[in-house]
Amino acid sequence: MYLTRVRLNEKRRSTMRALASPAMIHGAVESSFPGERRRRLWRIDCLEGRWYLLVLSEDKPDMKNVAEQFGFPDEEPQWETRDYTPLLNRIQPQSSWHFRLTANPTRSSAAEADASGRGKVHNHVTIEQQKKWLMDRAESHGFQLKDEDFTITFRDWNVFCKKGNKGPRVSILAVTYEGNLTVTDPERFCETLTGGIGRGKAYGMGMLTVASQRRKNHG
């Protein structure tokens, strides 16, 4: 696995359009890999006033197209790619980590099921609901989380069309969590790191990253 980071130039009009339309970034990310398209985890981070695109993938990407569209094509390096395996190998039982996650916390209403039997999906809108959503999923994803050990640092509604201006409109609530967790099941937790949590992965949701509690740098 590889973790790639591209610095974004928020002063460019193309970048601001992409930040408002996650489908654009999803397309740019997938075009950075050869062969058949597969859904890769990605996330937008703002660190010390700078915007970054993070991408987790099985193969090394060629992010030239992303850098030319949304980044700093005249700067070197245009992007950075690191082997993710050493971090995965450091995941041990009861080890503690600082984490960051942008996710789409939702619930499904069986009473509003469609013809296929799928319940209607609703976004959790209160901070209490959003924190409980993550705590309820901690054990099944291989970690332990206490209410006082994490917080919600950012919430934002993303309203966009799936396919340019022609597709149906989608409303996704992006919630960024940050804090400390403890690993209870290393194998399951590594699967969480590489597979994500929750819905909306094509639109920059679900990517959980961890760093040393002293370091707290996820890029």
CATH of 88-211, one of 3.30.70.1210, 3.40.50.300, 3.40.50.620, 2.60.120.10: 3.30.70.1210
Burial class of residue 97 in the structure, from the number of CB atoms within 10 Å of its CB (0-12 exposed, 13-18 middle, 19+ buried): buried
CATH 3.30.1340 fits 2-83, yes or no: no
Q: Domain segments of the chain: what residues?
A: 2-83, 88-211
Q: How many helices (H) and strands (E) does the chain have?
A: 6, 11
Q: Tokens 């980071």 sit at which residue? A: 5
Domains 2-83 and 88-211 belong to one CATH topology: yes
Query: 51 has which bridge partners?
Result: 8, 46
Encode the chain (219 residues) as per-residue pLDDT tens digits: 999 999 999 999 999 988 888 888 988 999 999 877 777 999 999 888 899 999 999 999 999 999 999 999 998 999 999 999 999 999 999 999 999 999 999 887 555 545 565 656 777 889 999 999 999 999 999 999 999 999 999 988 877 666 555 667 777 889 999 999 999 999 999 999 999 999 889 889 999 999 987 666 776
Contact 102, 175 (CB under 8 A): yes
pLDDT digits (tens, 9 = 90+) for 3-14: 999 999 999 999
Q: What does the pLDDT read at residue 77?
A: 92
pLDDT digits (tens, 9 = 90+) for 21-52: 888 898 899 999 987 777 799 999 988 889 99
